[in-house]
Every structure is written in C-alpha cells, then in structure tokens.
Structure 1
C-alpha cells in the first residue's frame, strides 16, 4: 500500500468525504473535541492519504507557509484505530517529510503536536520549540523538524 498526495482540486468527492469522515471520527468522536475542523485551509493543502479496502486508514495535511504557520507544516495527522501500532503513522510522517523536503525544499517543518504524542514526533526528528499550550482543549507543543541538508 502506498500513500497518495493530492492537491484539494485533485481529490474526488468520495476521497474528500472519506477524509473528512476519518478526521471527524478521530478528532471529534474519539477525542471528544468539539472544534471546527473545516478551517478553510484544506483548499490550499496537499492531502496525503492511504486507502485500504475502500477506506482511508491514514491521513495528513501538508501546508505551505502563510496558511497556518509561517513555516511549512504537517497537520491533521490521523491513523484509523484498527491500523495503529502497525508502523503506518511513522511511514506516513516520513513520507510527508520527504514530500515537503523534495518538492518545497524548506529549512524547517512545523507541527502542532498533541502532548501525548511527544515521543512519537521526537523519534521522527522533531524538537519542541514552545511551552505546552492548549489547542481546542487538548495540550500541545509546537515542534520543528530542521532540514540539515538543503
């Protein structure tokens, strides 16, 4: 199985629906977080996702500077519960970093990481650059991955 990378305008209606359904399933239902997922940034994003048996099982959103942050960023990172622990999240983040580094050639990539995933992101080369803060009622850290080869 491989990840697809598509700009918003390239997504089919079914792909977009399945992406939004997975994001709502994880962020709203599972994490019991009421927030506006449709923040207007999807139209400017590259959407990374993997499908298995007709379902999207992993997803992230890649953004250029000036959309959410002043740096390139990866966000809305989700892996369907049934796929967790399989290494899919690591594969997705590595491929997201590679996509950004090869296509956009940035000095750094920013994420807003949920606190409980700190070690996961540190193991992927991200370093904490902010104090802990609340985002939509969930503790987060601002983290950066610095591109040493640019």
Structure 2
C-alpha cells in the first residue's frame, strides 16, 4: 500500500473514479445520507489517499485557505470498511495536518467534524468552536487546530 498526494489535475481518471466511488459509498450509502457529495471544490484541492491494489483504503481532501473557509481545511475523511481498526485514520489525519503546515505554510486548519468523532479530532489538538448542529441530518461540530483556537465547549 502506498500513500499519494495529488492536485486534482494530477489524478488519473481511474484514481478519481476510485476516490469518488469510495466517498459516495461511505458518505451517501453507508451513512444513508443523500446529498451532493461532489460539491465542486475538488478541482481546487489536494487529494491524499492510501491505495491498495486499486482500492482506496483511506482518503481525505485538503482544501486550501479561502475555498471553504478562511482557514485551510481537511474534509471528506474516510477509511474504507475493510481497513478500519488498523490505525490508518490517525496516520491519514497526521499526514494531512503535516501537509497543510509544511507545504501550504498554513497555521490554522478548520474542519466540520461529525460530532461522534470530536474526541478523535481533539486528540490531534482540534478544539470545538461551535455547538453541535445538524448537517445533512448528522450532528456536526466545527473545530479548529491552531495555537490561537479557543474552545467554547
């Protein structure tokens, strides 16, 4: 298995298809949440993923500052069902944070986390900056990783 990080235009058709297939499988089908998963932001993003024989094992997209939020953002964080429980999510998130800090030279990262994952993201230093709210009928909380972030919860 190998880690890849690519700009949108660097992805092959096969890679993009595999990424979108896995994102849709998890966010739309597995979570039973019909919404527009392909939201128009992908062309402006970096795509970090771990591939295993053509299968996307883990993925997240890195959204540069000014696209979704004032801050850079990590989103669409997934680990395929067959690869869960192996620590891949921790490695994936750390790689995303490192890329934002070292390659994009950004100091703040904002995420829109599903509320049940607040503790997981908190273990990386993310702090809640909103109360829990419903997004696509799933409880979420906005979180920021920054030296200046002030937790309200």
Q: TM-score, normalised by structure 2?
A: 0.93
- Quote the Cα distance in structure 2 between the aligned partners of 1:87 and 1:147: 26
Partner residue in 1 for 2:96: 96
Gaps spanning 5+ residues in structure 2: where?
Answer: 149-153
- Quote the Cα distance in structure 1 between the aligned partners of 2:107 and 2:44: 20
Gaps spanning 5+ residues in structure 1: where?
Answer: none
- Residues 19-38 of structure 1: matches in 2 within 5 Å? 19-38=19-38
Aligned-residue offset at 1:147: 5.0
Aligned-residue offset at 1:53: 2.2
- Quote the Cα distance in structure 1 between the aligned partners of 2:132 and 2:105: 28
Deviation beyond 6 Å, 4+ runs, structure 1: none
Partner residue in 2 for 1:4: 4
**8 Å contact from structure 1 (residues 106, 147) kept in 2:** no
Partner of 1:61, secondary structure, is strand
Give per-residue Cα distances to partners, 1:56-109, cap 9 Å, x unaligned.
110000011221111100000000011111000000000000011001111210
- Quote the Cα distance in structure 1 between the aligned partners of 2:61 and 2:132: 22
Partner of 1:119, secondary structure, is helix
- Residues 1-150 of structure 1: matches in 2 within 5 Å? 1-146=1-146
- Quote the Cα distance in structure 2 between the aligned partners of 1:64 and 1:72: 5
Structure 1 residues 91 and 17: alpha-carbon distance in aligned structure 2, compared to 1, 3 A threshold: same
Paired residues, number:
148
Q: Over the residues paired in the alignment, what is the CA RMSD in angstroms?
A: 1.1
Partner of 1:3, secondary structure, is strand
